[in-house]
C-alpha cells in the first residue's frame, strides 16, 4: 500500500506501527501535527504535556517502564527538554525512546534557527535525519530499534520542508507482539547519583564507539558513486536538492548524522577528487571532518544561515542555479484575526505608553504596526522574568507590563511568577487567556478543559493558581471592554506588589459567542482614521479626497467582522454600530 504523507504523518504512522505506548510532546511548528496524526490513527495514543521538559520526562518514564515512547517538539523545545535529555543519555532506556526534534531553518515560524544537531553531540545520543517521508517512516522505526539495541534515547531530526512536505510512503508491518510493562528495578542504571553516573558515562563513551561502528556499515550510510570528480556529503532534505542540481555527482548520503560514520566517510573521500559538505545551518559535519583530517569544502561556499533551496545548493557547488518560477503575490504579513481578543489589549497598552515585556504566541503580533506595542520577546515564558528584571534594573514597575498567553503561562510562566512573588518584586502581568494554544493551530492544554483527543479533562483555574503562588492582586477582565480594561490595568500599575490580570475571551478560531457585525455610517464618518489604527483585517480603506491631506474611508467587511466592537469603542464620533 502506497500512501502520500507529510513527514510528520509518516513519523506518526511509524510510531503507531512500532507499537509506541505513548506519543507525548508540546506543540511547536513544524512538529505539531505529528501527535495530532498519531492520536487519529487506530491504536495511536498521544497526549500534550505542558512543556517539552515534562514531555521528555514522561517519555523517559514510559521507556523506563519497558515500553516505547515518541516525544515530539520543535528545535527550541529541545532547549527546554535538554536537562532530562543529557541524563537520559546516561541512564539509557528499557523500551525504545525516540525524540523528534523539528528544526526550522529560515525561521518560517520560530524565534531563532538553532541547529539541533549540536544537542546530539553534546548529549552523546544518536541522531537520525530522514530525507523524505519514506525515510521519515523507516527512520522512526529504526530509532526505536537503535534505542533498544544501544540502550540510548535516539533523536530524530527533521526540518520544515521534511515535516510539512509530502511524498510517498510504503509502510511496513505493524508490530503486534508488544512487551509487557516492567517497573525499573536497577538503581545503578536509573538513579543518577555521581557514583552510578560515573559508571554510566563510561558506557556512554563506549556506546558512541559502537554506534559509529554500526553506522559505518549500515545501509543508511549510502555511497552513491557516479562521476568521481565531485563528491558531496549531505543528509536530510538537502540530499534531494543535491540530487536535483548535481545528478551526476557522487553522493554520500548520511542517515545517521551523529555520531558520524568516519570510516565510511574516509572511504568515500578517497574515491572522489573534490569533496563538499552540503549542510544547512551550522558546519557540524564539516568541523568534525576537519578534526578527523578529512578536507572538505563547506561553509566557505554555503551560507551558515537561512533555509537552503536547490538554487543555493547549485550556487555553492558552482553550478548554474535554475531559475525558480516566481509568483507575483502581494506580501501578506501575519495579522491578528478579526475579533482577536488580543487586539484591544495592545491598543490599550499602546495608549498607556507602558513598556511591554512580551512573549511568544499570536499576541507577539502586538509588535507589528499599527499596534506597535511590544518591546521585548525572547522565548516562551520570558515575559515575566524580563518584567521582573526590568524592575530590578531600576525601571519604574508602574510603567512595565508583562504579557503572556495562557498556553505559554502554563508552559513556563508559573515559576517566574512565583519568583516575582518570592523575591518581593512589583509588577503587572497580563495573562491573555484565549482558551487555546492558538499560534500553533489551536491545541488543547491544561487550561482548556480538554485533552489532545478532545476528551473532557480537569481545567486548571488560573486565578486560583496565581493566588496560591502568593499573588495578592488577581483579577479577570474582558479584553473587549476597552475602558474597563484600561482602568483595571492602571489600577494594577499603581499597586505596590505583583498583579495578575487575566484577559479572558476565546480565540476566534474556537467555538465562541456570535455578535452582530459592525458597520460604519458612511454619511457621519469624519474619516479620522482612528478605527484603522487597530489593524483589523475586517476594516478596509479606500482613499478619498485629493490634495495635501489624503484621507481613507473605512469600511467594515461584514463577512469578516466578528462583532467584537473594539473599533466601535474607539470611534470618537460613535458612527460604528451593530448591523442589526
Ligand X SMILES: Cc1ncc(C[n+]2csc(CCOP(=O)(O)OP(=O)(O)O)c2C)c(N)n1
Element (H, E) at 78: helix 75-80
Contact (CB, 8 A) for 379 and 360:
yes
Tell me, what DSSP letter sits at residue 321? P
Site stretch for ligand X (CB under 6 A), options 137-145, 417-425, 428-436, 572-580: 428-436
- From candidates 101, 230, 278, 360, binder to ligand X by CB under 6 A: 360
Establish if 25 lies at the interface with ligand X (CB under 6 A).
no
Provide the minimum distance between the beta carbon of 66 and ligand X in the complex, in angstroms, as a whole number: 29
Provide the minimum distance between the beta carbon of 462 and ligand X in the complex, in angstroms, as a whole number: 11
**Residue 480 grid cell:** 473587549
Residue 134 or 437 with smaller CB distance to ligand X: 437
Establish if 444 lies at the interface with ligand X (CB under 6 A).
no
Element (H, E) at 82: helix 82-91
Establish if 362 lies at the interface with ligand X (CB under 6 A).
yes
Residue 439 or 575 with smaller CB distance to ligand X: 439
Establish if 302 lies at the interface with ligand X (CB under 6 A).
no
List the beta strands (DSSP E) in 398-472: 400-405, 427-433
Which burial class, exposed, middle or buried, applies to 226 when counting CB atoms under 10 A from its CB (0-12, 13-18, 19+)? middle
CA 448 to chain centre: 20
> What does DSSP say about strands 249-254 and 518-520: parallel, antiparallel, or unpaired?
unpaired
- From candidates 99, 275, 337, 380, binder to ligand X by CB under 6 A: 380
What string marks each residue from 34 to 53 as x (binds ligand X by CB under 6 A) or -? ------------------x-
Dihedral sign, Cα of residue 67, residue 73, residue 76, residue 77: negative
Between residue 181 and residue 220, which ones bind ligand X under the rule CB under 6 A? none
Dihedral sign, Cα of residue 469, residue 470, residue 471, residue 473: positive
Within 8 A by CB and 6+ apart from 346, the residues are 356, 363, 366, 371, 373, 374
Provide the minimum distance between the beta carbon of 480 and ligand X in the complex, in angstroms, as a whole number: 15
Establish if 428 lies at the interface with ligand X (CB under 6 A).
no
Burial code (b: 16+ CB inside 10 Å, e: under 16) for 391-406 equals beeeeebbebbbbbbb
Site stretch for ligand X (CB under 6 A), options 21-29, 130-138, 315-323, 514-522: 21-29
Between residue 74 and residue 103, which ones bind ligand X under the rule CB under 6 A? 74, 76-77, 80
Q: Which residue has the cell 474556537?
A: 510
- What is the C-alpha radius of gyration for the chain, rounded to an integer number of angstroms? 27
Establish if 26 lies at the interface with ligand X (CB under 6 A).
yes
Rounded CA-CA distance 486/492 in Å is: 10
Residue 19 or 84 with smaller CB distance to ligand X: 84
Site stretch for ligand X (CB under 6 A), options 33-41, 92-100, 438-446, 569-577: 438-446
Q: Residue ranges of the alpha helices (H) in 235-364?
A: 237-245, 262-271, 284-291, 310-316, 342-352
Establish if 316 lies at the interface with ligand X (CB under 6 A).
no
Establish if 440 lies at the interface with ligand X (CB under 6 A).
yes
Contact (CB, 8 A) for 412 and 484:
no
Number of residues that bind ligand X (CB under 6 A): 24
Establish if 564 lies at the interface with ligand X (CB under 6 A).
no
Provide the minimum distance between the beta carbon of 448 and ligand X in the complex, in angstroms, as a whole number: 9
Establish if 27 lies at the interface with ligand X (CB under 6 A).
yes
Residue 53 or 488 with smaller CB distance to ligand X: 53
- From candidates 101, 439, 489, 565, binder to ligand X by CB under 6 A: 439
Residue 76 or 570 with smaller CB distance to ligand X: 76
Establish if 434 lies at the interface with ligand X (CB under 6 A).
yes
Provide the minimum distance between the beta carbon of 428 and ligand X in the complex, in angstroms, as a whole number: 18
The site for ligand X (CB under 6 A) is made up of 26-28, 52, 74, 76-77, 80, 360-363, 380, 405-408, 432, 434, 436-440
Amino acid at each position: 500500500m502506497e500512501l502520500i504523507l507529510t513527514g510528520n504523518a509518516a513519523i506518526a504512522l511509524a510510531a503507531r506501527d512500532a507499537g509506541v505506548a505513548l506519543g507525548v510532546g508540546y506543540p511547536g511548528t513544524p512538529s505539531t501535527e505529528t501527535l495530532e496524526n498519531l492520536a487519529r490513527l487506530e491504536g495511536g495514543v498521544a497526549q500534550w504535556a505542558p512543556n517539552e521538559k515534562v514531555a521528555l520526562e514522561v517519555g523517559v518514564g514510559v521507556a523506563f517502564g519497558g515500553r516505547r515512547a515518541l516525544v515530539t517538539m520543535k528545535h527550541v523545545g529541545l532547549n527546554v527538554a535538554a536537562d532530562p535529555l543529557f541524563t537520559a543519555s546516561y541512564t539509557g532506556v528499557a523500551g525504545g525512546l525516540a525524540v523528534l526534534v523539528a528544526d526550522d531553518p529560515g525561521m518560517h515560524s520560530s524565534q531563532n534557527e538553532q541547529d539541533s544537531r549540536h544537542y546530539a553531540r553534546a548529549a552523546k545520543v544518536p541522531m537520525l535525519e530522514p530525507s523524505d517521508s519514506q525515510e521519515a517512516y523507516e527512520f522512526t522505526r529504526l530509532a526505536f530499534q537503535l534505542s533498544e539495541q544501544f540502550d540510548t534515547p535516539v533523536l530524530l531530526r527533521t526540518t520544515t520542508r521534511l515535516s510539512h512536505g509530502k511524498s510517498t510512503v510504503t509502510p511496513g508491518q505493524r508490530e503486534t507482539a508488544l512487551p509487557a510493562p516492567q517497573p525499573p528495578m536497577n538503581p545503578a542504571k536509573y538513579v543518577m547519583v555521581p557514583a552510578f553516573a560515573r559508571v554510566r558515562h563510561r558506557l556512554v563513551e563506549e556506546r558512541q564507539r559502537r554506534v559509529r561502528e554500526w553506522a559505518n556499515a549500515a545501509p543508511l550510510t549510502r555511497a552513491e558513486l557516479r562521476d568521481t570528480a565531485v563528491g558531496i556529503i549531505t543528509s536530510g532534505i538537502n540530499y534531494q536538492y543535491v540530487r536535483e542540481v548535481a545528478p551526476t555527482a557522487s553522493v554520500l548520503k548520511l542517515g545517521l548524522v551523529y555520531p558520524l560514520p568516519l570510516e565510511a566517510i574516509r572511504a568515500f573521500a578517497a574515491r572522489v577528487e573534490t569533496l563538499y559538505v552540503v549542510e544547512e545551518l551550522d558546519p557540524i559535519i564539516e568541523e568534525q571532518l576537519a578534526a578527523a583530517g578529512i578536507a572538505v569544502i563547506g561553509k566557505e561556499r554555503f551560507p551558515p544561515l537561512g533555509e537552503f533551496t536547490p538554487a543555493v545548493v547549485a550556487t555553492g557547488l558552482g553550478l548554474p542555479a535554475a531559475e525558480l518560477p516566481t509568483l507575483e503575490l502581494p506580501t501578506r504579513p501575519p495579522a491578528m484575526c478579526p475579533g482577536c481578543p488580543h487586539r484591544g489589549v495592545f491598543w490599550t497598552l499602546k495608549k498607556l505608553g507602558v513598556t511591554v515585556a512580551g512573549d511568544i504566541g499570536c499576541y507577539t503580533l502586538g509588535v507589528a504596526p499599527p499596534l506597535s506595542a511590544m518591546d521585548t520577546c525572547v522565548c516562551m515564558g520570558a515575559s515575566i522574568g524580563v518584567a521582573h528584571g526590568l524592575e530590578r534594573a531600576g525601571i519604574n514597575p508602574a510603567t512595565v507590563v508583562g504579557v503572556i498567553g495562557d498556553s505559554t503561562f502554563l508552559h513556563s510562566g508559573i515559576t517566574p511568577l512565583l519568583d516575582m512573588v518570592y523575591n518581593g518584586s512589583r509588577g503587572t502581568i497580563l495573562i491573555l487567556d484565549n482558551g487555546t494554544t492558538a499560534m500553533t493551530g489551536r491545541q488543547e492544554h491544561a487550561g482548556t478543559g480538554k485533552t489532545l483527543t478532545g476528551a473532557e479533562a480537569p481545567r486548571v483555574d488560573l486565578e486560583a493558581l496565581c493566588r496560591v503562588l502568593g499573588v495578592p492582586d488577581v483579577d479577570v477582565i474582558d479584553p473587549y471592554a476597552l475602558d474597563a480594561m484600561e482602568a483595571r490595568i492602571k489600577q494594577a500599575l499603581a499597586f505596590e506588589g505583583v498583579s495578575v490580570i487575566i484577559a479572558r475571551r476565546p480565540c476566534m478560531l474556537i467555538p465562541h459567542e456570535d455578535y452582530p457585525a459592525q458597520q460604519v455610517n458612511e454619511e457621519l464618518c469624519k474619516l479620522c482614521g482612528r478605527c484603522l489604527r487597530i489593524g483589523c483585517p475586517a476594516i478596509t480603506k479606500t482613499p478619498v479626497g485629493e490634495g495635501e491631506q489624503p484621507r481613507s474611508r473605512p469600511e467594515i467587511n461584514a463577512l469578516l467582522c466578528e462583532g467584537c466592537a473594539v473599533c466601535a469603542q474607539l470611534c470618537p464620533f460613535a458612527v460604528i454600530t451593530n448591523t442589526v
